[in-house]
Structure 1
Amino acid sequence: MLRSNTRWLWLYFPMSWIAVGVVLLHIVFYDWTLLTPKDVGGTLFGGAMSTQLFLSGWAVATLGLIVAILLRLPGSILAWITAGLVPLCIGGWWQLNYPDDANGNLLYSPVQADITIAMLIGAAILASGLYARIRVKTASRNASLSGLKIFGKTVAAAALSAFFIAVPLAFLKQQALPYCAFSKEGQQLSVCLSEEDGKRSMNSTFKVIT
């Protein structure tokens, strides 16, 4: 049981749970996106580019959760166990309900073998989480934290939350920008296909981001 009379406790626990929860939401999102079979027959490189992007996001989110565990933030071990259960549940569902392509004209990604690998990774995460939970329970019976340590962990949890909240918000903001948009300073804010498009956009006031 955590023993401390520090005044930061009222902020430490909520901030820790927010940080852990936000990171876990990222992992769940990437698990669902990566493990849900989609027809990628008409996409560029068979959807490999988007898969790499989502895998990178999953890796960053998993790293964020590992950081939370190393900081021993409340709820981090439980979130790690959940992160192991999610691919097992999603993968198991799609193994039983994988889309049928009777004519062989569709190209689905991921294939069932990839889903199986993801389930094995999930099982490893789950097993390590259960083991860590037992170890932490034993080690934390007489644990105590100083006010300075709790303050430091609170700041770290706030930084973790800010990062994993700011990144998707920035992405959504970028997605909402009009085609070939420029700021008043001339900085390109979204994709242009040609220089002519860029010049046309800079002269169009409705595409200037204020």
Structure 2
Amino acid sequence: MNHYPQINHFLKDSLFFYTIVIGMDSRYAYVSKNYDRNFEFSGGTLLGEHFSVTLHPEDIVICEQTGGACFQSPGKLFAATLRKHDGRGGYVTTQWEMQALFDEQGKPDGVFCIGYNITEFVDTRSRLDSAHHQLTEIGYIQSHMVRKPLANIIGLTSLIRQESTEERVKDLCNMLEKSAGELDGVIKDISDKTD
């Protein structure tokens, strides 16, 4: 498994990247310090443990499929997004690239993996998607549910002004119609920004 000694050496103390090698027996043949620090819970090392001990149970099949693809297309990198135990009963989201390793005789020797934590990115994207959905709902409410009664108020104001003979009522209707028109413009501007 000495195919990636320079990469492993370069990243062995990385605080951001994890490097691991999964042997043909599905066990960790190499784990970087950062990987052990983040995912090993007994204070020892994951070296020699089955690769699945760190994974969300639903993601084990993703690893198996991606590892198989690595051997079907040697030399090609394959990506996988995997949830890993966070040590507190939850999971972090990690992004990986994997490539098959072969020994000197060309026989499969394991899978080299380099990954990093993308939990913050995933959480931020989720919050942005939620905010976008809320803005879309607000835009719909403003353009369809608020502007309709406002248009009715503007129309009723016009009818009252036409029916009234008193100048004071007509002046009040003009002021009411002007204010309602300004409010309608503000609502339209907000609705346009949320589309």
Shorter-normalised TM range = under 0.3
Which structure shows the higher helix fraction? 1
Give the TM-score taking structure 1 as reference length: 0.24
Structure having greater relative contact order (Cα 8 Å, sep ≥ 6): 1
Give the TM-score taking structure 2 as reference length: 0.26
Between Structure 1 and Structure 2, whose CA radius of gyration is higher?
A: 2
Which structure shows the higher strand fraction? 2
